[in-house]
Structure 1
Amino acid sequence: MKKGTYNTIKNAIEMHDNIFIFHHIRPDGDCLGSQFGLGELIKLNYPKKKVFYIGDSKGILSFLDFTHYDESKLTEKDFKNSLGIVVDASSSDRLEKKELILSGKISAMARLDHHPNGADIDYKYNWIDASYAAAAEMVGYLAMKAKWKIDAHAAEYIYTGIYTDSGRFFYSDTSKRTFVVAAHLMKYGLNIHKIHQELSGKTMKEIKFHGEVLSNFESKEKVIWYYVKNDVIEKLNLSYEEANQVNILANIEDNRIWIFFIDQPDGEIRVRLRSNGPKVNLIGREYGGGGHDNASGAMISDPALIPEIVEKAIKLIKDFENENR
Structure 2
Amino acid sequence: MGLKWYTARRVAWAGVAAFVILTVTFVLLDYAPDPELARIQFRAAATGADAETAAEAYAERRGLTGPLWERYLEYLGNLATGDWGWSDTRSQPVLTAILTALPYSLMYTVPAVALSTVLGIAIGLYSAFNQYTTTDYAATFVAFFGVSIPNFWFGIVLLLLFAVQLGWVPVLFDAELARTRPLSLANARQLVLPVFVLGTSAIASTMRYARAEALEYVRAAFVKAARAKGASEWRILTRHVLRPTLVPLSTILVGDLLGIILSASYLVEVVFGIPGLGRLSLEAIRRQDTALVLGTTLVPVLVAVLGNLLQDLAYALLDPRIDYGDR
TM-score by length of 2: 0.25
More strand by share: 1
For the pair shown, the structure with the greater C-alpha radius of gyration is 2
